[in-house]
Copies of this chain bind each other. A is one copy, B any other.
Amino acid sequence: MSPSVQQAVEALREHFGTRLSTGAAHREQHGRGEAFAQAFPPDAVIWPENTGEVSLIMRTCHELRVPVIAYGAGTSLEGHVSAPRGGICLDMTRMDLVLAVHADDADCVVQPGVTREALNTFLRDTGLFFPVDPGANATLGGMISTRASGTTTVRYGTIAHNVLALEVVLANGDVVRCGSRARKSSAGYDLVRLMTGAEGTLGIITEATLRLHGQPEAVGSAVCSFGDLRGAVEAVIELIQSGAPLARIEFLDEVQVRACNLYSKMSLREEPTLFIEFHGTENSVKEQFERAREVVQSHGATGFDWAADEQRRSQLWRARHAAYFAALGLRPGCECVVADVCVPISGLAECVAAARREIDAAGLIAPIVGHVGDGNFHVLFLLKPGDTEERARMERVYDAMIEHAHRLDGTCTGEHGIGLGKRDKLVAEFGETVVALMRRLKEAWDPHDILNPGKVFQT
């Protein structure tokens, strides 16, 4: 622990007492998220309980030039929450209150440590829900910071479309509010969208006003499988182009279906498969289902099981959400690297097929899943821990996937963010000049580089 960190810890211990820990177990636990191999424990962990406490920490760390890293549920996949330069981890999970629900305006105000599942449980009897669903039960602060999206984005947008306002503590401890509860605004630079996806490098989010949506009157799900990948993806393209208001449309390749069958005790055909969900009125859900059936069948789909009942639907989506754990089950004891690229939908079939070919040619085990309505897909690389040669093969395949996405004017990350893992890919995507713009912005707002330093780009 450097002298300056030591000094900060001593200064802050006075206020936080046992809510500040330098214990090895706490530090280890906060040194990494999920599925990112490298761990860098912070020097200390603090559990703040309100905005004033976050401001106090920032003031102290600003004065002493100590790095500060915010930590939510720890479900980040790109090393966002690790502390490669040491410093203080803010575990935000005690700031977990839903502060207000404005049912008339379909919005709510939450602290950053509220998880998406906790929020939806809280909202259950209001007729409203928060739709953004990245799979993991992440905290809302973390979801905002990584610009999360997930299965429902095709209908309800990413989290960036669903944040109305933020309270943020800046590098020097100043507390600011950006945005408002108005549904739209042209008032100055859009700092809400700038903070969304900034991975904690521009400020610490201490409160968020979120847009809610009416719980759909009726929900229907359907599953179908295809003889080959191309049929599945072409069905998706046609569905999206027809303007069908699908609520979710998820792809699982045959390897992932096998994993789900094993893990979730299902008996789906082990072929490229789509899970589709429809939201609307009873009539419109039925109409959507019938139209979708026509489309998928014209692309050679087998089966188009209607899962209108809650139980069957829950089973399906639980299986989809468990895809990560199901994949891990394919190779007991493995580590998993979850690749994430997003391309214009016209290039999706080509990209997924190329990924599958390269995975197989490299002798890797890796199911593929995708939020295909958005052109976003994930390869779940299952790796033997410590096998550097296998990891190198994986990296070659992943690099080729990203290059492919870039050739199609896609992105190196649809929803997981840059963190530590993809800083060179950010440069590949936009060029040095754009990354320099981001860096200049960061320097202007955080001149001592204490907010999650070294994430998003080298500093």
Contact = CB atoms under 8 A, between A and B. Distances in A.
Interface of A: 102-107, 146-149, 153, 157-158, 160-161, 165, 170, 174, 176-178, 180-191, 193-194, 196-198, 202, 213-214, 216-217, 237, 240-243, 245, 280-281, 283-284, 287, 291, 342-346, 374-376, 405, 408-418, 422, 425-426, 429-431, 433-435, 437-438, 440-441, 443-445, 456-457
B418 A187 contact: yes
A214 B435 CA distance: 35
Given A182-B343, A213-B243, A281-B291, 12 more contacts: A104-B241, A146-B186, A170-B433, A174-B433, A180-B411, A182-B342, A182-B414, A187-B426, A188-B457, A191-B434, A214-B242, A283-B284
29 contacts: A103-B241, A104-B237, A147-B185, A149-B186, A157-B157, A176-B431, A180-B411, A181-B343, A181-B409, A181-B410, A182-B343, A182-B344, A182-B405, A182-B409, A184-B342, A186-B414, A187-B418, A187-B422, A187-B429, A187-B430, A190-B196, A191-B434, A191-B438, A214-B241, A216-B243, A281-B284, A283-B283, A283-B284, A440-B445
A105 to B, nearest CB: 4
B187 A411 contact: yes
B409 A180 contact: yes
Given A194-B190, A243-B214, A441-B445, A375 B182 contact: yes
A170 B438 CA distance: 13
Contacts of A157: 157, 161
Nearest to A443: B444
Contacts of A409: 165, 180-182
Contacts of A443: 444
A457 B242 CA distance: 44
The 3 tightest CB contacts between A and B, nearest first, are: A214-B243, A193-B193, A104-B346
Contacts of A193: 160, 190, 193-194
A430 B178 contact: yes
Nearest to A346: B104
A129 to B, nearest CB: 11
Contacts of A182: 342-344, 374-376, 405, 409-411, 414
A202 B214 CA distance: 38
Q: How many copies does the complex hold?
A: 2
A184 B456 contact: no
Given A176-B434, A191-B434, A283-B287, A184 B418 contact: no
Contact of A189 (B165, B177, B198): B198
A375 B410 contact: no
A429 B180 contact: yes
A374 B183 contact: yes
A274 to B, nearest CB: 17
A160 B190 contact: yes
Contacts of A437: 170, 176, 191, 445
B435 A188 contact: yes
B344 A181 contact: yes
A444 B444 CA distance: 6
Contacts of A287: 281, 283-284
A429 to B, nearest CB: 6
B161 A441 contact: no
Nearest to A408: B181
Contacts of A280: 284
Nearest to A215: B243
A177 to B, nearest CB: 7
B105 A415 contact: no
A186 B417 contact: yes
